[in-house]
Structure 1
Amino acid sequence: MTATGATRQTLRIAMNGVTGRMGHHQHLVRSVLALREEGGIDLGDGTVLWPEPVLVGRDARRLAALAGRYGIEEWTDDLGAALGDPTVDVYFDAQTTSARETALRRAIAAGKHVYCEKPTAPDIGGAMDLHRRAEEAGVKHGVVQDKLFLPGIRKLKRLLDGGFFGRVLSVRGEFGYWVFEGDWQSAQRPSWNYRSEDEGITTDMFPHWEYVLRELFGPIASVQAHLATHIPRRWDERGRPYEVKADDAVYATLELESGAVVQLNSSWAVRVHRDELLEFQVDGTEGSAVAGLRHCRVQHRSVTPRPVWNPDTAAGADFRSQWQDVPDNEEFTHAFKAQWELFLRHVARDEPWRFGLDAGARGVHLALLARTSAREGRRMPLRVTPP
């Protein structure tokens, strides 16, 4: 419920792609509808910002079912009608990558503020063009950078800001899990993820790694990658076999402008033997940390034990027990919801915002350079980067 006596400012949001898993659960239910359940966004001046979703998509039946399930009044399978509605303030896109660029162009041309998933476009030219169009149109623009708002990553950022590591030497990232092939257990990812060379794990995850590394450790100087299709045959949602065209793993070494070295493994063909599906280990001159989605553990220089290599005897130390948990020290909200709130405040009050379509272009750029590196077998410098 909105606070008594508060003035309500409504922002109508055309949400395209919310019949998909990510758009449905993370953006519609756990972000926009969650903000409404909390009574809207208190702007601190007696005004409550109220997000009003308008569902958009291609399947009228699914849209109607979704709207009925959550009590949403408006939906349409006509994107043009939604963009032509003068009462719609924001256009959000969580469609497949191949459909996103065209829809964003139309939304910008219609004068809508735009917020979207990534990648923003299939190639760097399209991604940079979207940024240029949004700037010229004078609309607010944002790209989802959800990993930055995860509790584990925020704890890691707190350590960095406090100088815990001294000089950062290296970062090792492990991401992934086993996606079932679909023959005797149904796959956790849709088959379209594997049918196109442009929809592999590199395209999917490297836009994430670009903003995580940049925001935590600074800009990337170069990338060298190896792409693999470890599982060449899978079965679709109807039990039919198909040949996999997309990469399902990418192994990369990146150098940061600071001189720190980053090793990143991303795979949909790896069985998990770590505490979380995503983990980063950061080693510095003064201390180290291992951060996941929610947790972060540290070992300072002053309490680092003295391991001795001796393969002839069993290791007597429990190495994991020698690390210390980083406390929460704050209440963490849902990562997607946290960024939605910041973007909507940016639209309504022009509050600071740095995750625009230019950030989306940098993510596309890194993914394409990683693919080029793998294809040509060489290290790719980031001498020329998007704005």
Structure 2
Amino acid sequence: MTRRTVRIAMNGVTGRMGYRQHLIRSVLAIREQGGLRLGDGTVLWPEPLLVGRRETALRELADRHGLDHWSTDLDTVLSDPAVEVYFDAQVTSARVPAVRRAIAAGKHVYCEKPTATSFEEALELARLAREAGVRNGVVQDKLFLPGLRKLRRLVDGGFFGRVLSVRGEFGYWVFEGDWQPAQRPSWNYRVRDGGGITVDMFPHWDYVLHELFGRVTSVQALSTTHVPRRWDEDGEPYEATADDAAYGIFQLASGAVAQFNSSWAVRVHRDELLELQVDGTHGSAVAGLRDCRVQHRSATPRPAWDPDGPPADRFRAQWQQVPDNEPGGFGNAFREQWEHFLRHVAADGPWSWDLLAGARGVQLAELGRRSSAEGRRLDVPELTR
């Protein structure tokens, strides 16, 4: 058995998502399990090199986790031939120039979404990566969640028959920051920094719909700012210029209709923060982050409408849980995709979640915002490779 070290420049891991999901629960978790075993018996060993602007924060993270390498100089890091992969989890507005430099340096690129604040720039990154011949990928973590993997199993098994509709509910209450600290950074609420829930979540809905149910062909959306005044990390008030809620209707190539409500100004009254209901001619399913429940047409009850009395049916009890059926259980969704990408870098596995797929998500977000501004439904052009 041989061990192959892959040095990864990780930019933006001082932020919440970059630190918890990508550094700790993905790259360091792969190391804790002894590396990633490839098909030929080689063990891939990820070696993170932390990159960022704040020297003190980087040093503290490196010391906390026993890491030897960190830097505030991205250009020096990218000039190092030992660095094979560049990962970006910075604020969206800083992503494009950094990814451009990484591609120009010949590094394989893996990054968070959205890949850019404009479709034009997102498409440019996909083109640059293709022309440079570097392997590239975009985080599409929700595809690897247990609930959505069970949903995919149902789709692949023909459970739904013809899919008629998909309805998604996502969100939670983000505190304003005055009397309780906000759970999201203030840049999320500033347009100039690439903030806004349409830009943040429509790329997710694009890849979920595209991978499970087919291509989005049109969008009609309404984006709004329900809470216009918030308080930042220093306790200072500011005006929110970005949308905190988006309501979208998407037509799919199959004829099915999808509707997603996304909000940082909603209180949760459902089992999970994300729930999808899929209705088909042969059956329906409700999937969350972890669980999935189904109701087949042969077991569909006949509800009775009676507004003058208490409900006779316990509707939730009429659904059946989809079993895990996963040997060893489900792993962390971010780590699962990291493992796929590292195999892709080592030419040891297939890969489809590239920068062009990321550009498709940015395209849908951009069209969603335009649809809201113009008050009309817009067609979504198909992107071809």
Global fold match (TM > 0.5): yes
Select which of 8, 20, 25 maps to 2:3: 8
Which segments of 5 or more consecutive residues in structure 1 lack a partner in the other structure? 1-5
Work out the CA distance in 2 between the residues paired with 1:105 and 1:383: 25
Work out the CA distance in 1 between the residues paired with 2:123 and 2:277: 32
* Cα-to-partner distance string for 1:306-349 (whole Å, 9 max, x where unaligned): 00112112111100000000000002111000000000001012
What pairs with 1:1-387 in structure 2 (closer than 5 Å)? 6-196=1-191, 198-330=194-326, 331-385=329-383, 387=385
Residue 350 of structure 1, CA deviation: 4.6
Work out the CA distance in 1 between the residues paired with 2:163 and 2:296: 13
Amino acid at match of 1:377: G
Work out the CA distance in 1 between the residues paired with 2:198 and 2:224: 10
Work out the CA distance in 1 between the residues paired with 2:290 and 2:382: 35
* Pair 1:43–1:373, CA change in 2 (3 A): same
> Contact 2:196–2:242 at 8 Å: present in 1 too?
yes
When structure 1 is superposed on structure 2, of 261-270 and 344-353 the one drifting more is 344-353
Work out the CA distance in 2 between the residues paired with 1:214 and 1:368: 17
Work out the CA distance in 2 between the residues paired with 1:242 and 1:11: 43
> Contact 1:128–1:386 at 8 Å: present in 2 too?
no
What secondary structure is seen at the aligned counterpart in 2 of 1:22?
A: helix
* Cα-to-partner distance string for 1:233-270 (whole Å, 9 max, x where unaligned): 11111221111101000011111010001111000000
Work out the CA distance in 1 between the residues paired with 2:373 and 2:247: 13
**CA RMSD across the alignment:** 0.9
> Contact 1:143–1:359 at 8 Å: present in 2 too?
yes
What secondary structure is seen at the aligned counterpart in 1 of 2:258?
A: strand
Residue 3 of structure 1 aligns with which residue? none
Amino acid at match of 2:303: P
Amino acid at match of 2:237: P
Residue 177 of structure 1, CA deviation: 0.1
Seq. identity, %: 70
TM-score calculated relative to the size of structure 1: 0.97
> Contact 1:365–1:386 at 8 Å: present in 2 too?
no
* Cα-to-partner distance string for 1:104-125 (whole Å, 9 max, x where unaligned): 0000000000000011111111
Work out the CA distance in 2 between the residues paired with 1:240 and 1:347: 44
Which segments of 5 or more consecutive residues in structure 2 lack a partner in the other structure? none
What secondary structure is seen at the aligned counterpart in 2 of 1:154?
A: helix
Work out the CA distance in 2 between the residues paired with 1:135 and 1:195: 32
Residue 150 of structure 1, CA deviation: 0.1
TM-score calculated relative to the size of structure 2: 0.98
Work out the CA distance in 2 between the residues paired with 1:121 and 1:177: 25
> Contact 1:165–1:286 at 8 Å: present in 2 too?
yes
Work out the CA distance in 1 between the residues paired with 2:40 and 2:113: 33
What secondary structure is seen at the aligned counterpart in 2 of 1:89?
A: strand
Aligned length: 382
